[in-house]
Amino acid sequence: MADLSSSAGGAVPAGTDKTPWRERLAPWAFRAPLIFMVAFFAIPMAMTVVFSVFERTMFWMEPGFTLFSYENFFFSARLTNFLNSMKYSLISVAICFVFGFPIAVFVRKSIPEVAQHRVVLLFILPFMVSEIIRVFALRPVLQRNGLVNTTLMDLGIIDEPITALLYTHTGVVIGEVLSFLPFIVFSGFLAMEAVPKYIFEVCDDLGVGPWRRFVDVILPLAAPGIFAGSVFIFVNGLGVALLPNILGGAGAVNAGLIATQAITALDFPLAMAVSAIMMATLTTLLWIGHKLFDLTKILTPLS
């Protein structure tokens, strides 16, 4: 930006209109993406709060002030469902962390630097297949006569097919883990940038065991990245409607599903209230994380 704005305005005395319009326009071109994001992302997200207190009409909404949608959310089964989905989302975060984070540590610690990015690229591969298709594809895998059950029965490990794998909360958790695990690997990989390789040697020299090394050294250093990855998984577990819709059974309803169901039922203020609640949850989480770990640290390798 510095090189651009200096050409745009710096050399020319203020007040003279000699600068060609192209050069005066240039700095604004660099702000265009931000203006776009404010207009079509920040404002619409903020407006959810305003629209959520509008009055519901037959097919749409009209300006007004009512807390009916919030009442509708907080004093019904929706709240229970929402809190339940929080619980299962937290379980998914924990599982993703346990399975995914060691991979990030392993890649950073034991793989030569030139090859690290290629190994991480392996985890982009599943992510590049449409999430919807991966989630749908779990149905034939987890079904009563699906891949998992037939394999287990062929191997003689079980006699009866396990039916708890699909159309249950377990199914949703499996779906969440398989959809979001790559993200903990990516964010863990970025987070491990804050853990220099010599730390491992220092720990060895000082005779620190792997567990203490992990808890006392790696975890505090990589905390911002781990937190960002976890928030990502948590919020998506709450917000991706297709997971409970496709894999869940009765009672598996998350915020995303409540919002889309409200839209289908033409209850737009309710959908906006759910969105506003989700945005509040997300902002609170990120704010707490920022206060605790200073999330801008994650971006140090980028700037």
Partner 1 sequence: MNDYDNIWLHRLKWTYLLLVVLTLMTPVMYVMYVSFNQNGFGANEYVFTWEWYGLIFSDELLIGALRWTLMLAVVVTVITVPMALLAAKYYKAADNKLFPVFLLLAPLFVPPDILGSALLVFFKNLNFALIWLGDQIGTSLFDSWFRLSFLTATIGLIIYTIPYSFVVILITMGRYRKEQTEAARACGANGWRAFWDIEFPQIRAGVFSACAFTVILVFNEYTRTSLLKGGFDTFTTVLISQMLNTGMSPQSYAMSAMVSFVAIAVIGSIILFTMIRAESLSRTARAKAEPVMS
Question: Shortest approach of partner 1 to residue 31 CB, angstroms?
Answer: 7
Task: Pick the closer one to partner 1 by CB: 222 or 272.
Answer: 272
| Sequence-distant (≥ 6) Cβ neighbours of residue 35 within 8 angstroms | none
Task: Pick the closer one to partner 1 by CB: 222 or 235.
Answer: 235
Task: Pick the closer one to partner 1 by CB: 170 or 275.
Answer: 275
Task: Pick the closer one to partner 1 by CB: 132 or 202.
Answer: 132
Question: Shortest approach of partner 1 to residue 3 CB, angstroms?
Answer: 6
Question: Shortest approach of partner 1 to residue 158 CB, angstroms?
Answer: 18
Question: Shortest approach of partner 1 to residue 286 CB, angstroms?
Answer: 7
Task: Pick the closer one to partner 1 by CB: 221 or 238.
Answer: 238
Can you name the residues that pair with 61 across neighbouring β-strands? 56
Here the tokens at position 140 are 């034939």
Give the orientation angle of helix 113-122 with respect to helix 169-191, to 10 degrees.
Answer: 160
Here the tokens at position 66 are 């009512």
Question: Shortest approach of partner 1 to residue 40 CB, angstroms?
Answer: 5
Number of H-type helices and E-type strands within the chain: 16, 2
| Sequence-distant (≥ 6) Cβ neighbours of residue 70 within 8 angstroms | 52, 273
Task: Pick the closer one to partner 1 by CB: 60 or 74.
Answer: 60
Question: Shortest approach of partner 1 to residue 258 CB, angstroms?
Answer: 9
Task: Pick the closer one to partner 1 by CB: 148 or 221.
Answer: 148
Measured on CA atoms in the order 123, 129, 131, 133, is the torsion positive or negative? negative
Question: Shortest approach of partner 1 to residue 225 CB, angstroms?
Answer: 13
Residues 26, 101: Cα–Cα separation, whole Å: 43
Residues 200, 129: Cα–Cα separation, whole Å: 36
Cβ(8)–Cβ(23) under 8 Å? Answer: yes
In 63-197, alpha helices (H): 68-74, 77-110, 113-122, 124-128, 131-142, 147-154, 169-191
